[in-house]
Structure 1
């Protein structure tokens, strides 16, 4: 089974290839002073001892034990490297700890456990437990786009899958791996809070996610979801399906904990919802900037929704619509339109009348049946329902492709359409 699985994964790369920066070895950590990871450099990490070299065991209990034992050892000596050799590993609920630096060789495949029945399987977590104070964690893959490490999901194994569940951690760096999804539930990388967290002190800080791709993501999910976080840098990310970079601050809404200083650069989405989506709910967020977003046959290029008050919130408390801080901006967005993508039923009202024949009410393009999706045409480069909250540099926004002339470049409430059909 493992041999066939690897063959499937590697052949899929050819079918779903999207051009991207290639690596012939483990890439060096990239740092910038204003955002993202601020921990030890590549040179400093390379000087740390190798505490373990992990080999595939063919047994999930042994795989989990080997990973956790190596992580505990590296953290205990306050800094160590873990080398993961080529092969297939079945993992679940592996806890990353401080000063742990994992380097995965070419041909590593990480997947949920095959020997248990569980609707939800989370592979790695960091900083999610109440008393954890985690810092300086890196996970980097070796190899180029064709052979770098991969996460693999299958809905028949687990409907809900996630590679990294992230809570309170300072200085986390994730780079150079691919995720082969099966339209499972959950974004594969989630920036959350530690359990029972109530303040900004309980969220991730100094986070970099760079050169990561996901394939066959569900419309409602995708690659990275930033529920909370401070100093977050998302760079060179790709998604086939779903959303590449989603900033939706609902996890800490009861405590007004969201995001501050998020930089999104050079992200691409193909045949999905959008390259970037932004939604504040009831949280007052800091600045979010988008510089470089490309959408190919997607519903939107960038989607911005205004804040709203959920009915699930305590009705006895006073709530207000959330926002992103002044100074937030969007530029360099490219949209390439198509006539057959996955769109939300709620978006039908934004489709130009001339393109309504491409909307198929009887279609079900997503495996997550209750998500409310249909097949339809891409709509616009930007949906902006947040009035003047975001500065959009319109001269840097473009759209091309099938019947681009029939679409608006930027859709707002003011141009929302009422259809005769």
Structure 2
């Protein structure tokens, strides 16, 4: 077993031990149940229970911990503050219902949320109840206050006619240690649904996120966190599904295990970024199902100086999605570019849509504002800063084809005209029209592609692969359609290895590569 594999197996074991020790610690702290109804809360869906719920939380915290029990009913509330050694437990048939009055969400530590915690330890949210933020109604109330001049949003988006300030999140956890969330259904946030910042030792298990209420409804966002386990979650979000961020320098994401989740998104399913100032290291992602997702199934992005390394992704199934894989090193912010290295992506099966994968969403991702042919998967650094050591193995992607030379035609002799877009927002559409239909790889040092099968539903005039400024390329067992030659294009490719079975064209196992002359 290689040292690399030993390291990641060790990560999994440590995460398991963390989860076990955290469960024991939480059990030890469950000294008493506190029924919110005993503190005056009424589950009629009409009575505002903010003060009563907060009294129960404060009492449990003061007595060194306890479980806040919500019995069956609908408990209307504004913002509540979760404190150390306190568990919120929602019985089946219980709904915690967010108020639609913006005044019920005062800022706490410069943030707004229905449930908020800052600098606490040993907190949890459990049970089979529902937390419903009534996000669209709340956001429209914020919008109305802006237009009537009661509460002006200085960052109001007049192009999209929607507010940016004052909406808040459903749950926001910052600078906390030992957080556990299980079983609950989170729905209808006015902003990000479930957000962590600078927190550690986090377990999220069997959580259902269903939030298409308003824009920026990211499912689970983690900003500068460590020792994180996200498993068995079902996410349907009107923005990124699971998003790892580093929105300011000094925020580091380390030691993640994300597995056995289903994701539907009007943006990306799993994404690193776009905020990427700090690091993303030692992350394992496996057994993920993606469907009806507008952008990438997997997007790994460093554009603000982030260091990204030791990333393992495996067993991904994506159906009806805009893109399978995006790995992007750019330089949007920061003194110097970061780096991306040691990325392994294995056992991926994806089907790329021709039209909008998220057409059934009422809040869809923004349209690309120019004519384009279907985009390939992209792995792209920038001049002088290459992505390093990428392994792609057992990858099967079906593309729609139907590319046309009538518009957006980029012939192979014009590869130099593909946009670098060094400072651009990272997205698989960011380079404009691309000259390949399967993979576009540029500014990469060390890439291995093994057991890659690319198929087309309809004809595409472009080659399957384009490699530009690539070193140490190894390809083996590559299957592409059999009806055309020159499926692999090289430009400034050095130290490449294609074994005797490198390119299989169905019944014709014949090499079909073409190297562009130096220009």
2:89 equivalent to 1:94: no
Task: Look up the SS of the partner of 1:302 in the other structure.
Answer: strand
The 8 Å contact of residues 37 and 208 in structure 1, kept in 2 or not, is answered as no
Identify which of 229, 239, 243 aligns with 1:224: 243
User: What 5-or-longer segments of structure 1 have no aligned partner?
Assistant: 1-30, 143-147, 193-202, 314-318, 344-362
2:414 equivalent to 1:384: no
TM-score norm. by structure 1 comes to: 0.64
The 8 Å contact of residues 187 and 223 in structure 1, kept in 2 or not, is answered as yes
The 8 Å contact of residues 122 and 161 in structure 1, kept in 2 or not, is answered as no
Of structures 1 and 2, the larger Rg is shown by: 2
Identify which of 104, 110, 125 aligns with 2:116: 125
The 8 Å contact of residues 299 and 327 in structure 2, kept in 1 or not, is answered as yes
The 8 Å contact of residues 378 and 439 in structure 2, kept in 1 or not, is answered as yes
Aligned match of 1:206: 227
Aligned match of 2:148: none
Superposed, 1:5-16 pairs within 5 Å as none
Query: How many aligned residue pairs are there?
Result: 332
2:261 equivalent to 1:237: yes
Deviations 1:157-179 (A, max 9, x none): 32642333312323222222322
2:426 equivalent to 1:411: no
Q: Distance in 1 between matches of 2:98 and 2:317?
A: 31
Aligned match of 1:161: 191
The 8 Å contact of residues 137 and 172 in structure 1, kept in 2 or not, is answered as no
The 8 Å contact of residues 45 and 73 in structure 2, kept in 1 or not, is answered as no
Label 1:49 to 1:295 Cα distance change in 2 as closer, same or farther (>3 A): same
Greater share of residues in strand: 2
The alpha carbon displacement at 1:409 in A equals 4.0
Label 1:91 to 1:62 Cα distance change in 2 as closer, same or farther (>3 A): closer
Superposed, 1:159-198 pairs within 5 Å as 160-182=190-212, 183-192=214-223
User: What 5-or-longer segments of structure 2 have no aligned partner?
Assistant: 1-10, 106-110, 140-166, 168-189, 247-251, 405-435, 443-464, 469-519
Identify which of 363, 372, 380 aligns with 1:367: 363
Label 1:365 to 1:211 Cα distance change in 2 as closer, same or farther (>3 A): closer
Q: Distance in 2 between matches of 1:404 and 1:140?
A: 48
Deviations 1:152-197 (A, max 9, x none): 55434326423333123232222223222225214232222xxxxx
Q: Distance in 1 between matches of 2:46 and 2:375?
A: 45
Q: Distance in 1 between matches of 2:192 and 2:263?
A: 15
Deviations 1:306-356 (A, max 9, x none): 12223xx6xxxxx111223x433222222023322259xxxxxxxxxxxxx
Which structure is higher in RCO with an 8 Å CA cutoff and minimum separation 6?
1
Aligned match of 2:394: 396
2:333 equivalent to 1:322: no
Label 1:341 to 1:404 Cα distance change in 2 as closer, same or farther (>3 A): same
TM-score norm. by structure 2 comes to: 0.54
Task: Look up the SS of the partner of 1:106 in the other structure.
Answer: coil
Deviations 1:107-138 (A, max 9, x none): 444454223489996333344xxxx3x33333
2:86 equivalent to 1:104: no
